Structure 1
Amino acid sequence: MNEAKVTAESLRSGKTGADENFPVASVLIAAPLRPVILAFYDFVRSGDDVADNPDLAPARKHALLDQMEDSLIGRSEAEPLGVKLRAMLAKHELTDQHARDLLDAFRLDVDKNRYANWDELIDYCRLSAMPVGRFLLDVHGESDKLWAASDDVCAALQINNHLQDCAKDFKSLDRVYLPQDALEAAGARVEDLGEAKSSPELLACLQGLAWKNRALLDRGAGLTGAIADFRLGLEIAVIVRHAYSIVDMLTLRDPLSEKVKLSKPEMIMGASAAAGLEALSRVIGRAR
């Protein structure tokens, strides 16, 4: 492939919204808003794939991420997904800052592969996860007073992913998001992530982090009822429900040797229950 013509889009891994632990612009979202959310997702997904591509040198990854940002802010037209998102954001009068923050997270992924402690991991989530929730709130015209709760939910979603994929991240990218001090406190080693099954020490570390992450999710769970937009409230209820299901699996299972992922039927049933309960709660609330 001619390097001069390579784009982030051309290097997509094939992962789509259907592969995520949460719905992406589902039918619960108002139809006029879905295109800008999908444009944002496609742009971000492509940037993530660049950072995680095992065949690209770090310098090439940085060049592609810079190319994406240049297209997003109007400095070039090299990345079709950046040009598309730029137009969508302008149409909806939305900032490009959330997408740019995520590009900074991907740059960090290129250069950093260990995290010293929980606070350092949360700082990473400020770039890698929190902007997604803030963007979704902005799209719906929600108050930025909801950002704090949204930040907690989004960080919890991200850390769920880190715990689920801890072995794969280590084996394919030598990247470990598990806080180093948590591993040391449990008597676990980074190298344990390369085994087919967690050692007792590693399992204790992983499940301890899952419990800590559940507390983070608890802190942000009030976001659902605070959202003014009815349809977005249902969507967030579904996202939070799925997050709790995953974190509860992680407190009980070994992600190195056991399935820690919701099946399609489980996602559908969970979504129906969460959306139904949230809709009922809102109807009752209005009746009062």
Structure 2
Amino acid sequence: MASRDLASGKGHRDENFPVASLLIKADCRPPIMAFYRFARAADDIADHPNATSEEKLAQLARMRRGLDGDGTAEAVALRDAMTARGIDPVHAHDLLDAFVRDVSVTRYATWDDLMGYCRLSAMPVGRFVLDVHGEDRALWPANDALCAALQIVNHLQDCGKDYRMLDRVYIPLDTGVNIADLPKDRASEALRAIIADLARRTRGLLDQSVVFSARIRDRRLAAEVAVIHRLARSLTYRLEQRDPLSQHVHHGKAETLFLAATAALPVLLRRAA
């Protein structure tokens, strides 16, 4: 089975948070999109409902080979983009490690275990974007907190679907979560309380990354990060108040545009001044 046979058809406009939006400088968008296409292809492989674990691991291994030599088109394109800019391929390898883990690990015992997963699945994405822009690696701790928050927001929004379709539970087991509640049409009071508590804990990560945008040298990237931070904070409040099994949590297009504008414009205007 080829990797293209496992493609979901999703693209960057289907994601919860902006991917290389028009805020990003034109010359920085192509390598970021190369990284996104690589990540999307690997994610589709790991999440395919019908492929066997052996088939998934074989395809992920082929993607890894493409970072160094002959492999999938997405991996070769990313390798060329990284070579052109002198970017360390560690971010791509870390991301592949996360997708390999998705194939073999379906439960996380503690918050720290979940953070260990986010270290592979989310933090390398932001680190890659920072490297594309030539930003200081001293920004990595703030980046890591924001990226982990985005990952957990996605997991909480999709907790029912992840269990039904993939038998994956990203809610730490030490929260006391009853897995039998996840496939239901409506969350139990206990599950709602767990999700709300995790949303508050995730907002703590956003508090850690509140200075991130201000410390980024590139004005347009700073605005993009401010937008992402604002969207994530809004979603954590929603997850405290809404049931992701029965209620809509995602932002609509108009809401996204409004939140994006109110986050980006102050950054752009301050930097211009």
Q: TM-score range by the shorter chain?
A: over 0.9
Alpha-carbon distance between aligned partners in 2 of 1:281 and 1:192, rounded to the nearest angstrom: 47
- Aligned positions of 1:87-106 closer than 5 A: 87-106=80-99
Alpha-carbon distance between aligned partners in 2 of 1:31 and 1:68, rounded to the nearest angstrom: 27
Deviation string 1:164-207 (CA, Å, 9 cap, x unpaired) is: 0000000001100000011x1xxx41110011001001110111
Alignment-mate amino acid for residue 122 of structure 1: M
Instruction: Provide the residue aligned with 1:273 in structure 2.
Output: 262
Instruction: Provide the residue aligned with 2:25 in structure 1.
Output: 30
Q: Per the alignment, in what secondary structure is the counterpart of residue 135 of structure 2?
A: coil
- Whether 2:68 is the aligned partner of 1:107: answer no
Instruction: Provide the residue aligned with 1:163 in structure 2.
Output: 156
Give the aligned length. Answer: 273
Deviation string 1:218-246 (CA, Å, 9 cap, x unpaired) is: 11121010001111101111111111111
Where does structure 1 lack aligned partners over 5 or more consecutive residues?
none
Instruction: Provide the residue aligned with 2:208 in structure 1.
Output: 219
Alpha-carbon distance between aligned partners in 1 of 2:237 and 2:271, rounded to the nearest angstrom: 26
Q: Per the alignment, in what secondary structure is the counterpart of residue 29 of structure 2?
A: helix
Deviation at 1:33, TM superposition (A): 1.1
Alignment partner for residue 52 of structure 2, among 57, 60, 84?
57
Alignment-mate amino acid for residue 66 of structure 1: A
Alignment partner for residue 244 of structure 2, among 255, 264, 270?
255
Alpha-carbon distance between aligned partners in 2 of 1:243 and 1:200, rounded to the nearest angstrom: 24
Deviation string 1:233-281 (CA, Å, 9 cap, x unpaired) is: 0111111111111111111100000001001111111111111121233
Instruction: Provide the residue aligned with 1:148 in structure 2.
Output: 141
Alpha-carbon distance between aligned partners in 1 of 2:211 and 2:15, rounded to the nearest angstrom: 22
Tell me if structure 1 keeps the 8 A contact 2:219–2:267.
no
Alignment partner for residue 19 of structure 1, among 14, 17, 26?
14
Instruction: Provide the residue aligned with 2:230 in structure 1.
Output: 241
When residues 251 and 228 of structure 1 are mapped into structure 2, their CA distance, relative to the original with a 3 A threshold, is same
Tell me if structure 2 keeps the 8 A contact 1:73–1:96.
no
TM-score (norm. length: structure 1) = 0.93
Where does structure 2 lack aligned partners over 5 or more consecutive residues?
none
Alignment partner for residue 116 of structure 1, among 105, 109, 115?
109
Alpha-carbon distance between aligned partners in 1 of 2:264 and 2:256, rounded to the nearest angstrom: 12
Alignment-mate amino acid for residue 195 of structure 2: L
Deviation at 1:133, TM superposition (A): 0.7
Deviation at 1:19, TM superposition (A): 1.1
Alpha-carbon distance between aligned partners in 1 of 2:260 and 2:249, rounded to the nearest angstrom: 18
Deviation at 1:105, TM superposition (A): 0.1
Tell me if structure 2 keeps the 8 A contact 1:9–1:81.
no
Alignment partner for residue 62 of structure 2, among 53, 58, 67?
67
Runs ≥4 in structure 1, deviation > 4 angstroms? none
Tell me if structure 2 keeps the 8 A contact 1:21–1:243.
no
Alpha-carbon distance between aligned partners in 1 of 2:225 and 2:58, rounded to the nearest angstrom: 35
Instruction: Provide the residue aligned with 1:181 in structure 2.
Output: 174
Instruction: Provide the residue aligned with 2:121 in structure 1.
Output: 128
Q: Which moved more, 1:8-17 or 1:197-206?
A: 8-17
TM-score (norm. length: structure 2) = 0.98
Percent identity, aligned pairs only? 48
Q: Per the alignment, in what secondary structure is the counterpart of residue 27 of structure 2?
A: helix
Alpha-carbon distance between aligned partners in 2 of 1:247 and 1:206, rounded to the nearest angstrom: 10
Alignment partner for residue 190 of structure 2, among 201, 221, 232?
201
Deviation at 1:96, TM superposition (A): 1.2
Q: Per the alignment, in what secondary structure is the counterpart of residue 46 of structure 1?
A: helix
